């Protein structure tokens, strides 16, 4: 594997999830693969889980790791081609990415969307410039439209915890006060549409996702109907795709609580984190027996390790 930016870069998602679960049983079995190899992690935006789990995964594989918070610690980066750099930016991404590729064997990049210009965000212009100019394999640490390491960890969690061969999984929109990207729900949807599960997306009218990511999903505006018989509920907020990046008024009653959970098949409740308590998810759910959000975050290590292992095998 040379590129991990979406489900489309993976030939067999079930095999990759199974490999992640094997690595969980035996984390240090492949240290020879990463010996004398360096992973560079470049963040244009904040992170807790992605940063630490990917670092941990690389260390388990015997790699060295370099982390650059380029938004805070690097030179002010110019991202536009053809720019006359007579303003605040100091270094063009063309040189910055190419130079980083001289220092590392694999690079991970996090670049969130601006949520102002849908065409620009959905073209993945910034992320793709790193891919184009760095000259080494690239792992997405979350781009404008997708978060594949999160989605793989989510699939691993479902495979690990499911009690039926083909569980019902519901992606349930939740309220928020800020406009959040569609990257996590887009990505979760496209991975779940390829998984052997019964997949439903529930959101209020107006929060339809781009249909490129949802082909094969059942989509409803009725949360209670969606929750009926659910084995896993994946709670997540996202802003509107049209009008792009907007928070629509109302819908506070979409927050999951124990009363709504009773409609499900005693579902496990998932969330990628960070989560705003009692806005997106209630205390009673997060502190209750059905929440698997910390377990899910733990699986980020094994997801990242499976991807890095496959990349190291091709170096």
Residues at the site binding ligand CP, with contacts judged by CB under 6 A: 47-50, 142, 150, 272-274
Q: Which is nearer to ligand CP, 135 or 274 (CB)?
A: 274
Q: Which is nearer to ligand CP, 275 or 285 (CB)?
A: 275
Q: Report whether 50 belongs to an annotated binding site.
A: yes
Q: Which is nearer to ligand CP, 101 or 148 (CB)?
A: 148
Shortest Cβ 31–ligand CP spacing (Å): 25
Q: Report whether 110 belongs to an annotated binding site.
A: yes
φ, ψ for residue 170, nearest 5 deg:
-120, 125
Shortest Cβ 48–ligand CP spacing (Å): 4
Shortest Cβ 139–ligand CP spacing (Å): 13
- Angle (CA) 266 269 275, round 5°: 155
Q: How far apart are CA 226 and CA 222, in angstroms?
A: 6
Q: Which is nearer to ligand CP, 294 or 315 (CB)?
A: 294
Tell me how far CA of residue 28 lies from CA of 23, 33, 37, 96, 186, in angstroms: 8, 10, 15, 33, 32
Q: Report whether 248 belongs to an annotated binding site.
A: no
Q: Report whether 300 belongs to an annotated binding site.
A: yes
Instruction: Confirm if 10 and 303 have CB atoms less than 8 A apart.
Output: no
Instruction: Confirm if 281 and 256 have CB atoms less than 8 A apart.
Output: yes
Pairing relationship of beta strands 138-140 and 106-110 according to DSSP bridges? parallel
Q: Report whether 211 belongs to an annotated binding site.
A: no
Q: Which is nearer to ligand CP, 92 or 238 (CB)?
A: 238
Q: How far apart are CA 25 and CA 129, in angstroms?
A: 37
Q: Take residue 6 and report the two structure tokens written for it.
A: 């979406």
Q: Report whether 193 belongs to an annotated binding site.
A: no
Q: Report whether 176 belongs to an annotated binding site.
A: yes
Q: What residue is closest to ligand CP based on CB?
A: 50
Shortest Cβ 178–ligand CP spacing (Å): 14
Q: Which is nearer to ligand CP, 76 or 294 (CB)?
A: 294
Instruction: Confirm if 240 and 221 have CB atoms less than 8 A apart.
Output: no
Q: Report whether 47 belongs to an annotated binding site.
A: yes
Shortest Cβ 23–ligand CP spacing (Å): 19
Q: Which is nearer to ligand CP, 183 or 260 (CB)?
A: 183
Shortest Cβ 304–ligand CP spacing (Å): 11
Shortest Cβ 50–ligand CP spacing (Å): 3
Q: Report whether 171 belongs to an annotated binding site.
A: no
Q: Which residue ranges make up the annotated binding site?
A: 47-50, 75, 110, 142, 147-150, 176, 236, 272-273, 276, 300
Annotated binding site for N(2)-succinyl-L-ornithine: 142, 176, 236, 276
Annotated binding-site members for carbamoyl phosphate: 47-50, 75, 110, 147-150, 272-273, 300
């Amino acid at each position: 594997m040379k590129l991990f930016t979406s489900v489309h870069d993976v030939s067999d998602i079930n095999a990759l999830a199974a490999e992640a679960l094997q690595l969980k049983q035996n984390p240090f079995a492949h240290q020879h693969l990463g010996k004398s190899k360096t992973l560079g992690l470049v963040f244009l935006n904040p992170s807790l889980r992605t940063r630490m789990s990917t670092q941990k995964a690389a260390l388990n594989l015997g790699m060295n790791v370099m982390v650059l918070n380029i938004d805070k610690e690097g030179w002010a980066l110019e991202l536009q081609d053809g720019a006359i750099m007579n303003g605040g930016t100091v270094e063009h991404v063309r040189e910055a990415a190419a130079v980083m590729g001289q220092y590392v064997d694999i690079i991970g990049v996090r670049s969130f969307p601006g949520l102002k210009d849908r065409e620009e965000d959905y073209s993945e212009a910034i992320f793709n410039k790193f891919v184009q100019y760095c000259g080494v394999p690239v792992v997405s640490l979350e781009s404008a439209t997708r978060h594949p390491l999160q989605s793989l960890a989510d699939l691993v969690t479902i495979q690990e915890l499911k009690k039926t061969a083909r569980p019902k999984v519901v992606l349930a929109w939740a309220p928020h006060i800020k406009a959040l990207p569609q990257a996590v729900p887009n990505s979760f949807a496209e991975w779940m549409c390829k998984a052997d599960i019964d997949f439903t997306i529930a959101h209020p009218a107006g929060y339809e996702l781009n249909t490129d990511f949802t082909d094969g999903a059942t989509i409803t505006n009725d949360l209670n109907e969606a929750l009926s018989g659910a084995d896993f509920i994946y709670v997540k907020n996202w802003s509107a795709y049209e009008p792009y990046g907007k928070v629509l008024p109302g819908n506070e009653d979409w927050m999951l609580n124990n009363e709504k959970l009773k409609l499900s098949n005693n579902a496990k409740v998932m969330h990628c984190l960070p989560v705003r308590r009692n806005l997106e998810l209630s205390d009673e759910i997060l502190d209750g027996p059905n929440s698997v959000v910390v377990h899910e975050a733990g699986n980020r290590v094994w997801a990242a390790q499976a991807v890095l292992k496959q990349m190291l095998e091709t170096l």
